[in-house]
Amino acid sequence: MKHYQDVIIRPILTEKSYDGIADMRYTFQVNLHSNKTEIKQAVEALFNVKVAKVNTVRTMGKIKRMGTHSGRTPEIKKAIVTLDPSSKPIEFFEGMY
């Protein structure tokens, strides 16, 4: 059993994620090995809300060069969490939209 703080790493705050806050859609960076059920349980436990659905996106790292050396940036996994309409919004995001 993973701790809930190990599943959700940080919120992602971009223009596109700000547009979803009004529709009760929140975006988080999550652990690469966590699944949708673990993400749902973590959000419900940490923020005391009811989750309707979870969508995940896994992005590969970009290749970056510095001189003759090349490497990759880290890959990340994002979760777009949609709350139930009867649920209250997440207080952390209240004044951001």
Q: How far apart are CA 65 and CA 74, in angstroms?
A: 14
pTM over 0.75, yes/no = yes
Contacts by 40-47 with C-beta closer than 8 Å and gap 24+? 40/81, 41/4, 42/4, 42/7, 42/8, 43/8, 43/81, 45/4, 46/4, 46/5, 46/8, 47/90, 47/91, 47/92
Which residue's structure tokens are 């590969």?
A: 60
The yes-or-no verdict on residue 93 having pLDDT over 90 is no
Fold of domain 4-62+71-85: Alpha-Beta Plaits (3.30.70)
Residue 97: the pLDDT is 63
Q: What is the pLDDT of residues 12-48, one digit of tens each?
A: 999 999 999 989 999 999 999 999 999 999 999 999 9
